[in-house]
Amino acid sequence: MEQQNHSKQLLLQLNQQRAKGYLCDVIIVVENALFRAHKNVLAASSVYFKSLVPHDNLINLDTEMVSPSVFRQVLDFIYTGSLSSSDSVSDHSVSSLLTAACYLQLTELAALCRRKLKHNGQTPSSSNKLTPSSSSSSTSPTPNGHIPGPLRLSSTPLRATPNHNHQHHNNHSGSRKGNQRNQRWGQEGRLREDLSEEEVFISGSRCASLSPSGGSRVNGLALGLDLSKRSPSGSTATEEVSPSSLPHSPSPHSSSVSPTPTPPTTASAKPEPKENQRQPPNTSTDLLPRAPCKRPRPHREATNLGETGKALPNGLVKRPGAPGGEKLVRGDRVTPVVEDGEVGGEENSQDQSEESGHSGSEGGGGGRRNGNTNYIYRQPQPGFEPGVGDNLYVCIPCGKGFPSSEQLNAHVDTHTQDEIYLEDEEEEEEGGGYLKDEDPDADPDIYASRGVEPGADETRHRCTVCSKSCKDAVSLREHEKSHWLNRPFPCNICGKLFTQRGTMTRHMRSHLGLKPFACEECGMRFTRQYRLAEHMRVHSGEKPYECQLCGGKFTQQRNLLSHLKMHTSPS
């Protein structure tokens, strides 16, 4: 007895799951594009992948050997066993496909391509005659399947394939099904402008429409990715992340990259009807089956709101008794201290540090529109690979990376005082300057520190990070070095620097759209368990945070704090 079409049906199911991102446990990076797939399928199809997927959840492919569009065809072939006629219509595309097939050691596909070329009277190029092993020798894994080198999502050729070092998040989170993609950052939106439609796809399924008015969202949902969440106008449903593909020059200043959201409300960012306010990702899948949300609950209870009696801002403490958790009650007095501008010293000061003023998007850049939390955000220069190897210490002025703080210090000394002044003057002439989003009304000292007021040397040589005044530029530079060294963890995707590795890896999860924590009620996914716990109150109706002035109840503490500001504001 034999079930007819069993294998075909099985493959069909797998391909459908791939399209939705369901159970996908590996991400393949090709130039600017990310593809989700299943390790088992890849391993069963490709010797190359077979050697990699046991060790890696995120695999970079050499873009000299395979382009995103070609890999899409490859992936389609793997999951369907056939090539669509449109994909293989030209000999050139077949040749490219053959190259990729050899590189990826897809023997069946390579044979198919060769037959196709032969049928067309073409002779496979020498490169295509390479044996699988030789063709991929430059990027083959080491005997243990490991090629040193961190993750780089870059338009530059990616030599390193798997990612081990400094990419622990890949191993921990990469296999999780992050079906959403935060397309919030205008940076990503901008880089997509550089991409041809052919290159815009996910999981092998190209976004059929780049319509900015929601089409991308629908397509993204079709791919198992949530693109509805604050998608910047014009952003597309891709997972491409590559600062180096930004259409900006890589000069030290103009290249500063902030996670710049595009203007929130434009014709292309038409809001769509939502249920539950912000529409959960899978609740809008009218046209598509919703990805199953049967993922087991996180092992921690979602009602862990903190320790009873724990002091909270504004003199508030949590008290037991609130349903499912604790209530926030007022302490001695309600004196909200969380005011605009009162943020963590280091963070806030860092915000005012070097930032390009030429983002071109309304509201400046950064993940924050008001610029309160813009950070040193340095676009790597050409030839510089941030974080490659152990080069975790990044020189802010030039973007070069070094394996140790000592080496970075030595390098920084090579930057002359004249260099600094020249750069400052250039920026001022450009009308920009590297203090992005600075508001002279809010902090006139910022401008003063940049020499706007000639004659005030102490003011001129003021640290842009902590506002410390220095007697001269040399002293200032020495002082500022201490700040740069405080952020030794650069994001390998965007170059942003972080104080802690954990924060950096968490940040990178957002790049990769990895959201391991899913709501069982609505399917919405989160990057953090804490967020899920917070979100669950939406469904439970629990509002543990109560305003002691008016009795208003809130599901989130931050909303209570915001509410308290309203009480204390003069108006």
Q: Which of 81, 145, 157, 264 binds DNA (CB under 7 A)?
A: 264
64 in contact with DNA (CB under 7 A): no
User: For 558, how many CA atoms within 13 A lie in the half-sphere containing its CB?
Assistant: 3
Residue number with CB closer to DNA (206 or 535): 535
Rounded CA separation 399/376 (Å): 11
Rounded Cα distance, 263 and 376, in Å: 22
Own/partner long-range contacts of 425-434 (Cβ < 8 Å, ≥24 apart): 426/253, 427/253, 427/357, 430/358, 431/357, 432/253, 432/356, 432/357, 432/358, 433/357, 434/253, 434/256, 434/353, 434/354, 434/355, 434/356, 434/357, 434/464
Closer to DNA by CB, 344 or 403: give it: 344
Q: Which is nearer to DNA, 67 or 557 (CB)?
A: 557
Instruction: Give buried/exposed letters for 95-115 (b at 16+ CB in 10 A, else e).
Output: bbbbbbbbbbbbeebbebbbe
Q: In the complex with DNA, which residue's Cβ is closer, 122 or 559?
A: 559
Give the C-alpha separation, 339 to 351, whole Å.
Answer: 16
To DNA, the closest distance from the beta carbon of 169 in angstroms equals 6
Is residue 190 within 8 Å of 247, Cβ to Cβ? yes
* Residues between 10 and 39 with contacts to DNA, criterion CB under 7 A: none
Q: In the bound complex, what is the minimum distance in angstroms from residue 39's beta carbon to DNA?
A: 19
- Considering only residues 469, 485, 501, 520, which one is a binding residue for DNA as defined by CB under 7 A? 501
**C-beta atoms surrounding 415 within 10 Å:** 15
Instruction: Give me the residues paired with residue 553 across strands.
Output: 546
Residue 3 CB, shortest distance to DNA, in Å, is 41
Which of 385, 375, 378, 350 lies closest to 166 in space, CA to CA? 385
How many residues bind DNA, per CB under 7 A?
Answer: 89
Binders of DNA among 310-329, rule CB under 7 A?
310, 312-314, 318
- 243 contacts DNA (rule: CB under 7 A): no
- How are beta strands 525-526 and 517-518 bridged, if at all? antiparallel
Q: Which span sits near DNA by CB under 7 A: 283-291, 378-386, 475-483, 533-541?
A: 533-541
**C-alpha to C-alpha distance for 111 and 118, rounded to whole angstroms:** 10
CA distance 217 to 237: 6
> Measured from the CB of residue 257, what is the shortest distance to DNA in angstroms?
11
Whichever of 156 and 499 has its CB closer to DNA, that residue is: 499
Pick the piece of the chain touching DNA (CB under 7 A) from 119-127, 131-139, 240-248, 534-542: 534-542
User: Is the CB of 193 or the CB of 342 nearer to DNA?
Assistant: 342
Residues whose CB is less than 8 angstroms from the CB of residue 23 and which lie 6 or more positions away in sequence, other chains included: 17, 38, 177
Q: What is the 8-class DSSP label of residue 496?
A: B
Ranges within 327-366 binding DNA (CB under 7 A): 338-344, 346-347, 350, 363
Residue 313, number of CB atoms within 10 A of its CB? 15
Do the beta carbons of residue 365 and residue 341 sit within 8 Å? no
**Taking the alpha carbons of 317, 319, 323, 324 in that order, is the dihedral positive or negative?**
positive
Distance in Å, CB of 42 to DNA, minimum: 23
User: Rounded to the nearest whole angstrom, what is the least distance from the CB of residue 146 to DNA in the complex?
Assistant: 15
DSSP code for 442? T
533 binds DNA (CB under 7 A): yes
CB of 499 to DNA, least distance (A): 4
Q: How far is the CB of 405 from DNA (least distance, A)?
A: 17
Provide, rounded to whole angstroms, the least separation between the CB of residue 203 and DNA. 20
Give residues with Cβ within 8 angstroms of 442, minimum separation 6: 341
170-189 positions binding DNA, by CB under 7 A: 172-173, 180, 182, 184
Restricted to residues 371-390, the positions that interact with DNA (CB under 7 A) are 372-373, 375
Q: How far is the CB of 548 from DNA (least distance, A)?
A: 13
Min. distance of Cβ 490 from DNA in angstroms? 11
461-490 binders of DNA (CB under 7 A) = 487
Tell me if 164 contacts DNA by CB under 7 A.
no
Report, in Å, the least distance between residue 342 CB and DNA: 4
SS3 506: helix
**Residue span binding DNA (CB under 7 A) among the ranges 205-213, 416-424, 443-451, 561-569:** 561-569
Is there a contact between 495 and 506 (Cβ–Cβ < 8 Å)? Answer: no
Q: Which of residues 275-294 bind DNA (CB under 7 A)?
A: 276-278, 280
- Does residue 297 touch DNA according to CB under 7 A? no
Q: How many residues appear in the chain?
A: 571
**Are 239 and 34 contacting, i.e. CB atoms less than 8 angstroms apart?**
yes
Q: Which stretch binds DNA (CB under 7 A): 42-50, 81-89, 142-150, 272-280?
A: 272-280
CB < 8 Å & 24+ apart, contacts of 159-162: 159/62, 160/60, 161/52, 161/56, 161/59, 161/60, 161/61, 161/62, 162/52, 162/55, 162/56, 162/58, 162/59, 162/60
514 binds DNA per the rule CB under 7 A: no
Interacting span for DNA (CB under 7 A) from 136-144, 189-197, 448-456, 563-571: 563-571
Minimum distance from residue 502 beta carbon to DNA (Å): 3
**Smallest separation (angstroms) from DNA to the CB of 393:** 16
**Stretches 205-213, 305-313, 420-428, 462-470: which one binds DNA (CB under 7 A)?**
305-313
Q: Which of 50, 146, 230, 411 binds DNA (CB under 7 A)?
A: 230
269 lies in the binding site for DNA (CB under 7 A): yes
- Told to check if 82 binds DNA by CB under 7 A, we report no
In sequence order, which residues have a C-beta less than 8 Å from that of residue 236 and are 6 or more positions away?
183, 189, 192, 195, 200, 207, 210, 216
Site string for DNA, 186-225 (x = CB under 7 A): ----------------------------------------
CB of 533 to DNA, least distance (A): 7
DSSP code of 435?
B
**Selection from 350, 180, 356, 339 nearest residue 259 by Cα:** 356
- Show the tokens assigned to 433: 């300057």
Task: Give the one residue of 524, 544, 546, 548 binding DNA; rule: CB under 7 A.
Answer: 524
Q: Is 510 in the site for DNA (CB under 7 A)?
A: yes
